Structure 1
Amino acid sequence: MTSYKLNNQNLSRFEGEVSIPQYNRNNVKTGIVHVGIGGFHRSHEAFYTDQLLHDESNADWGICGVALLDFDAKIYNTLKEQDGLYTLVVKELDGTLTKRVIGSIVEVLYAPEDPKKVIEKMASPDVKIISLTITEGGYNYNEATGEFNFENPLVQHDIANAEAPKTIFGYLTQAFKLRKERGLKGCTIQSCDNIQGNGHMTKKMLLSYVGVAEPALVAWVEEHVSFPNAMVDRITPATSPSDISSLKETSGIDDAWPVVCEPFKQWVIEDYFSAGRPSWENVGAQFVPNVEPYEKMKLQLLNAGHSVLGILGALMGYDTIDEAANNPSVNAFLRAYMGREVAPILSDLKGVDLESYEVSLLQRFGNVYIKDQIDRICSETSAKFPIFILPTINAQLKLDGHIEHAALVTAAWAIYSLGSDENGKAINVKDVMASVLNKKAKESKNCPTTFLEIESVFGKLKDSKLFAEAYTSAYKDIVKHGVEKCVLEMNINRVNFI
C-alpha cells in the first residue's frame, strides 16, 4: 500500500481507511494548554476533546501541547512535523484494531527552546484550562513530610531564574503573574495524573512554590485559580516499532508516533472550573461533586494492580503485563490482593459493582494485544508505591487487617531492586532513586527490613512490627523458593477466601 506522511495536507487521503477529523481545524482556537503530550494524554484528554470538536459550538477548546523537558524534544518534533495530528489505534479484546486520526492538538510548543512563548501562551486570555500529565514524580513532594521539595536543583534554578523556568511550577507562577498584571481572569489547573487528590496536591505544591518565589501572588492564585480533582483511566502502553510499521502497511499512514491503547476509558472530574470548561460529559466523561472515592478505587486497584503484576512478572522473567496476568497463580494472587486487602477499605462508590470492576481489571490486564511492557510499568516505582500501594497497607494496619499480599509485593520490589530476575537476567531499573534502591536492596540481603528505611517512599512503615514480620517472612520465602511458588502457596493457604 502506498503510504503518505500524516499532516494537514495529506489528511483527506486517509478518509475511508480510518476515521479522520470531520471539523475544520483552522477554525479551532486554543482554549486548553496541556503540559506533557505523551501517550496517555493523547489516548485520553485529547481523544475526548477531539470527539467534542465535531460539534462546531466547541471550537474554542483546541489544545496547545507543551513539551516541558529536554528529553521531550522527540515528541515535540514529531507532532510539529505532523501539524499536531496523530493516529489513535484501539486494540480491542478480540484483536481487531479501531483507528482514528486525532486533530484536537492544534499547536505544539517546546518549552526549553522558548520559555517565554510558553509562559505567554499560558497567560493568554483565550486559555481557560491548563491541564497536566507530568507523572507522579513531577509534583515534587516528599512522601515522608508531604511538603514541597525545595532542595530540588531545578526548583532552585527556577527561583533564581524566574523568566527561564524548568519546572511546571516556575511556568505556572510566571503565567499567573502576567495574568494578574494584565488584569486578566484566572483559569483552571486540571491534573490528569495518578495521584489521589491530584487537584489538592497540585494546589498545595504550587502555592508552596509561589509563597517563596512570588509571595505577593499567593492571594491572587487562591482567588482566581481552581484545581478540580479528577480520576483518569485508560491503559496506554508505549508505542512499538511494529505498531508504526503495521499502521503504515495496513492504512497507508506514515505516522512517526501513533498511540495504542485499550478500548476502556474513564474520566471522572469534579465540576469546579474557574473560567468555563468543555462539555466533556457529552462524550463520556462524568462530572461529580466528589471524585475521591472513584480515584481511590482506581489508584489502589488498577494502578496498584499494574505494579503488582509488573514487579512479580519482572522477577519471573516476563516482558509484558499480559504474560504475568495470564499466569494462573499470579492472577489468583492479584485477585485476592484486590478482594481481601483493597476492597474492604473502599467506600461511597455509588453505581460501582466492585467485584465486577475487579473482574474487568483482570480481563484488561490480560489483553494479549496490548503488550504493555513491564519495564514501563515498573519505571519510577519509588514515586508510585506511596500512591498506589502504601495507602492500602496503612489502612489495613489501622484495622489490624490483612497485609500479607502487599508485604510479599514489597519484598519482591526489594529483590527486584537488586537488578536481576530469578533467571539471572539483568533488570534495567528505571527510577530516579535507582542508586538508593539498589544500595538498600543490597543491605537487605543481611537484614531485609533495611529496604523499608527509605523514608521518602515508605514513611514510617518500618516501625510497624506486624508489617515488618510479614515482609521479612515473604522476603526470605521469595529468596528461597521464587515468586511463583510463593504466590501459589499463598493462594492455597487462603483457598477458603476465594
Structure 2
Amino acid sequence: MDRLSNATLDRLPKSIQKPGYDRSAITTGIVHLGIGAFHRAHQAAYTDTLLADDPRWGILGVSLRSADTRDALQPQDALYSVSAANGGNIKRRVVGALTGIMVAPEDRAGLIARLADPAVRIVSTTVTEKGYSHDPATGALREDDVDIRHDFLHGDRPRTTLGTIFGGLKRRRAANIPPFTVLACDNLPSNGHTLRGLVIRFAELADPELAKWIGDEVRFPSTMVDRIVPATTGGDRASVAAALGLEDAWPIMTEPFTQWVIEDDFGLGRPDWDQAGATFVGDVAPYELMKLRLLNGAHSTLSYLGYLMGCETVAAAMQEPGIARLIEEMMRLEVTPTLPALPGFDVAAYCKSLLDRFRNPALQHRTWQIAMDGSQKLPQRLLETIRDRIAKGQPIDRLALGVAAWMRYVTGIDEKGRPIDVRDPLALRLKTLADEAGPVAARLAPTLFSVRDVFGTDLPVRPRFTLEVEAALDQLFTIGARVTVNRLQEIAPFGTCNSDQ
C-alpha cells in the first residue's frame, strides 16, 4: 500500500478531511518540544484549522529523546491522520501543520539555532510532568539532576527542556531578537507560571543577568488542555489504512471531545486559536484545577484500581460497577467541594461528561499507560485535593484509596503474583523500598510516605492521611482491589481517626 504524503493527498476519500491550504506556503512560527501523540491530536490540530487564513504558524516538532516519531512521519512529509471515535462513529482528518520534525540529541546546537529564528514566536511544550526537572511535591528545580548540571556547563548542547528554552532565549538576546513566548501545555498546576519559575531559577544559576531579562521580558502563559489520546496500536494502523486507502505509520486515535483554555499573554502575537474552539481567558487557574482534580485525579485512581482488577482499558474498568460508582462519588463528594466557583460553568454536567468519556468503548486507553509516572502525577492529581480536604476536616475515603492503589501498584507484583512493568522516574527506588517493606500495609505505607518527592514533609505526619491510606492499602493486600472497591459503601470508612491528634 502506498504511503500518506503530499503526493498522495488527492487520493484520500472525500469523507476524509484534508489540509485546505498550500503546505509549501506554510512557515514555522511555533517550535514544539515533545512531539508526541497528545500534541498532534490537540494543539497541532487546532493550529491546522487556521493555516489557510494565516500560514505563519506552522509547527516544527521536536523530540527531546527518541527518533521514532521523526522516522515514522518524515517519509510521509510530516502528514498524519487523526481519528476521533465515539462508539462506531468515527471522524477522520489529515493534519498538515507540521513543517518538520527534529530529534534534539542528533543536533542540539541546531535546535538552539532554530529557536533563535526571528520567525519563531512561540515555543510550546508537552514533555509530561517528568520533563520539567523539578520536585513535584515542592515545585523546586532539581539542581543536582545530572542533565540539569550538564546544561549549566554545556548550554550550547542542552539535554533538558529547561536548558533548551534557556539556550534559545540566550541566543535571541545576544542577537537582539525579541524573546519568544513559552507556552506550557502539560498537566501541572499553573503550568506556565511553574515553567517560568523553573526557567528563571535555571538562569539564575547559569547566567544571573539573563535571568533578570527573562523575568522582565518573556511571557509564560498558563493553559489547560484536555483530550484523551490512547497509545496507537497495530489494529489502529490497520483500520486507518483501510479507511484512508493509504498507509499512515503513526496515526492518532482520540475522542471527539477537546478543550483548550489559554491565558491571553503573548509577547509576539499568537494564532487565532479561539477560531478553532480554544478559549482565551485572563486566568486559567480555576479551569486547570478543575481538570487536574476531576479528570486527571479520577483517571489515575481508575487506572491503578482497574489495572489491579485485571482491566486492560479504562472502558473495561468502567464496566466494573464498583469502580464506576467510586469514581462518580469521588468526583461529586470529595473533589467538587474543593473547587473554586466558575460562573456559568456546570461542574455537575462536566463530571457526567467525564464518566461518559471514560466509558467510550472506541478508546482503547490502557490503564497501564495512564499509570505511568505516578510519582510525578500524584502530587497534583490527588494529594493537593487531600490537603484541602484535611484542612477542612472532611473525609478522604475515596481519595485515600487512590493513593493506596498507587502504593500497591508500585510494588511491581500484581494480585496474581505476576510482575508489573512500572514505568516511573522513581521506579527503581520505589521497588527497592517496597521489597524491603514487604506486602504488609503497616510497613509499606510508612516506608513510601518517606519519599518526600511525592508526599512532601507535611502529609506523612498527618494521621488523618496516613491512617486512612494504610487502612485502604491493607484492604487491597488482604481482600484485593475488586472486593475492596465493591465493599467501600458497605463498610465503615477505612480510617477511624477523625482529627490530627
TM range (shorter): over 0.9
In structure 1, the residue matched to 2:84 is 90
8 Å CA contact 1:39, 1:259 repeated in 2: yes
Q: In 2, Cα distance between the equivalents of 1:144 and 1:27? A: 45
Question: How far off its partner does 1:494 sit?
Answer: 8.6
Question: How far off its partner does 1:176 sit?
Answer: 1.0
In structure 1, the residue matched to 2:22 is 24
Q: How does 1:127-142 map to 2 (within 5 A)?
A: 127-142=120-135
In structure 1, the residue matched to 2:151 is 158
Measured against aligned partners, the alpha-carbon deviations of 1:69-89 in whole angstroms (never above 9, x if no partner) come to: 1xx211012222221110101
For the pair 1:107 / 2:103, whether they are aligned, the reply is no
Higher mean alpha-carbon deviation, 410-419 vs 203-212, is at 410-419
Higher mean alpha-carbon deviation, 76-85 vs 364-373, is at 76-85
In structure 2, the residue matched to 1:47 is 45
Question: How far off its partner does 1:250 sit?
Answer: 2.8
1:267 to 260, 264, 267: 260
In structure 2, the residue matched to 1:351 is 344
Q: How does 1:5-404 map to 2 (within 5 A)?
A: 5-55=3-53, 58-69=54-65, 72-92=66-86, 94-404=87-397
Measured against aligned partners, the alpha-carbon deviations of 1:263-322 in whole angstroms (never above 9, x if no partner) come to: 100000110011100000011000011110100000011011110111001111111111
Measured against aligned partners, the alpha-carbon deviations of 1:128-162 in whole angstroms (never above 9, x if no partner) come to: 10000010011111134431001111111111212
Residues 108 and 143 of structure 1, relative CA distance in 2, 3 Å threshold = closer
8 Å CA contact 1:379, 1:431 repeated in 2: yes
Amino acid aligned to 1:450: T
Amino acid aligned to 1:20: K
Q: In 2, Cα distance between the equivalents of 1:250 and 1:234? A: 23
8 Å CA contact 1:49, 1:61 repeated in 2: yes
8 Å CA contact 1:17, 1:251 repeated in 2: no
Measured against aligned partners, the alpha-carbon deviations of 1:240-283 in whole angstroms (never above 9, x if no partner) come to: 01110111123212110001101100000110011100000011
Question: How far off its partner does 1:174 sit?
Answer: 1.6
8 Å CA contact 1:315, 1:420 repeated in 2: no
For the pair 1:458 / 2:455, whether they are aligned, the reply is yes
For normalisation by structure 1, the TM-score amounts to 0.95
Measured against aligned partners, the alpha-carbon deviations of 1:405-437 in whole angstroms (never above 9, x if no partner) come to: 111121121111121222333211111111222
Amino acid aligned to 1:404: D
Q: In 1, Cα distance between the equivalents of 2:367 and 2:139? A: 29
Measured against aligned partners, the alpha-carbon deviations of 1:66-112 in whole angstroms (never above 9, x if no partner) come to: 1111xx211012222221110101112x3222111000011221111
Higher mean alpha-carbon deviation, 200-209 vs 481-490, is at 481-490
Q: In 1, Cα distance between the equivalents of 2:365 and 2:492? A: 30
8 Å CA contact 2:414, 2:420 repeated in 1: yes
For the pair 1:422 / 2:415, whether they are aligned, the reply is yes
Unaligned runs of 5+ in 1: none
Amino acid aligned to 2:302: L
Give the match's secondary structure for 1:390: helix
Q: In 1, Cα distance between the equivalents of 2:138 and 2:244? A: 52
Amino acid aligned to 1:482: G
Query: Identity percentage over the alignment?
Result: 38
Amino acid aligned to 2:55: A
Give the match's secondary structure for 1:400: coil
Question: How far off its partner does 1:357 sit?
Answer: 0.9
| Residues matched between the structures, number | 488
8 Å CA contact 1:188, 1:226 repeated in 2: yes
Q: In 1, Cα distance between the equivalents of 2:447 and 2:109? A: 46
Q: In 2, Cα distance between the equivalents of 1:482 and 1:363? A: 26
Measured against aligned partners, the alpha-carbon deviations of 1:187-227 in whole angstroms (never above 9, x if no partner) come to: 21000100010001100000111111122211221222100
Give the match's secondary structure for 1:294: helix
Question: How far off its partner does 1:491 sit?
Answer: 2.7
Q: In 2, Cα distance between the equivalents of 1:318 and 1:144? A: 29
Runs of 4+ in 1 over 6 A off after TM superposition: none
In structure 1, the residue matched to 2:499 is none
Amino acid aligned to 1:280: W
Q: In 2, Cα distance between the equivalents of 1:417 and 1:95? A: 36
8 Å CA contact 2:301, 2:405 repeated in 1: no
Unaligned runs of 5+ in 2: 494-501
Q: In 1, Cα distance between the equivalents of 2:405 and 2:82? A: 35
In structure 2, the residue matched to 1:487 is 485
For normalisation by structure 2, the TM-score amounts to 0.95
